[in-house]
Structure 1
Amino acid sequence: MLYFSDLLQYSDVFFSGLMTTVLLTVLTTFLGIALGTSCAAIRQYGNKASQSVVAVYVEIIRNTPFIVQLFFIFFGLPSLGMKLSPWEASMIALTINLGAYSTEIIRAGLGSISKGQMEAAKVLGLSFCQTLTRVIFTPAFEKIYPALTSQCIIVMLGSAVISQISVEDLTYAANLVQSRNFRAFESYFVTALLYLGLSILLRFAFNTVGKRLFAYRSTQ
């Protein structure tokens, strides 16, 4: 028999875990995209030395499991004198992970912009930074926005493993509840629904933001 009513007394636990997941997602989305944008610009326009450094970072992160990256930061770095709290380690790991994947996504967008636009910006007397911010980034981000937002949602779903280092996120809440009432099916079923709902809300939020960011297209 299934007894979902047994979970009602733990609603505050689920809510707290959900809020932790949402907060980490929001923070790491901003930080990860900022990191990815910087790295993408370096890979596209930087010198060979800086491009090589970014390329190594991207390849290491994209070709190793996220849980290994998380464990390395939380359990490995303390041996070098860098002790981090579970929250700090999770935020750093998620940011670095999203940064690596978003680097390649954003670089593809930058590469799709014709060199003619760069040359036109030079003729107008714009500096390199002005060219990037006013001429290159907006159309580039418009092209890769769906892929970038999907990657953010994937990272959010992958964040479930941070419960392994005792971050009290949504998955941690599910583990805690089922260990107390032994209702594993009900606990994880509700957790799955919460992750599904969060994914749908995030996609809706990203789509809404995208329409505002690129609304200028409809006026052209």
Structure 2
Amino acid sequence: MRITLDFAAVLGQWPLLLKGVAWTLALTAVAAVIGVAVGVACAWVRSQGPAGPRLVVGAYVELVRNTPFIVQLFFVFFGLPAAGVRLSPETASVLAMVVNLGAYATEIIRAGLDATPRGQVEAALSLALDRTQVFLRVVLPPALRKVWPALVSQIVIVMLGSAVCGQISTEELSYAANLIQSRNFRPFEAFIVATALYLLLAAGVRRLLDWAGARFLFGSRRPAGR
């Protein structure tokens, strides 16, 4: 049996592919910003917060980390309407990605917070800084620097996981590839192209976040962890 590949039939649909890439990057950017912020807040609660909130955050982290992302996505998109909350596919995708990233980021950032020397905190308190100032200025920056490579890897994983968002009609890259193959019946070529684009996106996002962390968060031109 002879197989003839026709990548031109897929690449000719470049506007759809470009739209899919743009949606994938947009979903990832919004989820990364909000998800990391959620992770910072929850990590603080788990490391320094009262017992009650610690239990709530702990339950959230364990629930998310021990269930598949696609189940979380379906719960947000199909389950919440039963409670009267109806979301667009794009909003549901972002919310599910934020919830997922927030849980993993919580444990990653908490590891950095716990690695901060106690003497460093006591020295800051002796300079009349309050607890909030100590956390934001003394504890959080070096903690983020320590865990930045792991945090970047988790953001990339969430970006790749966004491929399942096409199941609820979010027009990201996998949705575009599936739509193209349904039109020209070239699934092999369509998903090879999608795979190559995901590989390029993962490498590009990783390098961008490494550079951004070193340049804007840590005041150094050398990527964190290197």
Alignment TM class, shorter chain as reference: over 0.9
Q: Which of residues 24, 41, 44 is equivalent to 2:44?
A: 41
The residue type equivalent to 2:115 in the other structure is S
Query: 2:180 maps to what in 1?
Result: 177
Q: Which of residues 28, 32, 36 is equivalent to 2:35?
A: 32
Query: 1:166 maps to what in 2?
Result: 169
* Superposition map of 1:177-216 within 5 A: 177-212=180-215, 213-215=217-219
Instruction: Say if 2:85 is the partner of 1:82.
Output: yes
Query: 1:113 maps to what in 2?
Result: 116
2 CA distance for matches of 1:134 and 1:72?
38
* Deviations 1:94-148, CA, capped at 9 Å, x for gaps: 0000000000000000000011111111100001110011100111011000000
User: What's the TM-score, normalizing by structure 1?
Assistant: 0.97
Local SS of the residue matching 1:20: helix
Aligned pairs, number: 218
Q: Which of residues 9, 14, 20 is equivalent to 1:11?
A: 14
The residue type equivalent to 2:144 in the other structure is F
Please report the RMSD computed on the Cα atoms of aligned residues, expressed in angstroms. 1.1
1 CA distance for matches of 2:82 and 2:114?
40
Percent of residue pairs bearing the same amino acid type: 50
Q: What residue ranges of structure 2 are gaps of 5+ in the alignment?
A: none
User: What's the TM-score, normalizing by structure 2?
Assistant: 0.94
* Superposition map of 1:123-142 within 5 A: 123-142=126-145
2 CA distance for matches of 1:137 and 1:113?
9
Structure ranking higher in helix proportion = 1
- Distance change (3 Å), C-alpha of 1:217 and 1:172: closer
1 CA distance for matches of 2:220 and 2:130?
23
- Distance change (3 Å), C-alpha of 1:30 and 1:172: same
2 CA distance for matches of 1:164 and 1:8?
23
